[in-house]
Amino acid sequence: MKRILFFALSWAMLSTAAMAQQHAHSPAAEADKAQVAQAEFKVWGNCMMCKKRIEGALADMEGVVEAHWDVDSKMMHVRYDEQVVSLMQIKKAIAGVGHDTDEVRAPDEVYNQLPGCCQYERPEQ
Ligand SMILES: [Cu+2]
């Protein structure tokens, strides 16, 4: 139910943005907008260092428009171009720097090299 509400809200925001752009007569921006998807999922981590590492993993990733991880809720919010990158690729990139996601688990050897303060309690396999 929460998810449905989130998508409904996202859709409302996207529609509003699209209308705003029409007024601005910016067809290029509109074309960009049309392909941008967004998702929210859990990423395990502890602190601001984790936040830097998690968001940093996506900073230079092609197709990622926006990446934000909330330290308190552990929720990752991404906006990305579906034509360029998949949600699974995004999750793999995050797992690749040592952080478990709802679908992709970080390799043990990478996790073990995280600083002590960043070694979160791992979810069940
Ligand atoms: Cu940390």
Distance 114 CA to ligand 1 centre (A): 8
Residue 7 confidence (pLDDT): 54
Separation of 117 CA from ligand 1 center, angstroms?
A: 6
Alpha helices in the chain (DSSP H): 2-23, 27-35, 48-59, 87-96, 108-111
Which residue ranges form the domains of the chain, and what is each CATH number? 35-118 (3.30.70.100)
**Average pLDDT of span 115-124:** 94
pLDDT in tens, 21-80: 444 455 555 555 558 999 999 999 999 999 999 999 999 999 999 999 999 999 999 999
Q: Check pLDDT > 80 for residue 116.
A: yes
pLDDT at 124: 84
Residue 15 pLDDT exceeds 80: no
Residue 51: CB partners within 8 Å, gap ≥ 6? 45, 69, 71
**Distance, CA 118 to ligand 1 centroid (Å)?**
3
Q: What is the mean pLDDT of the chain?
A: 85
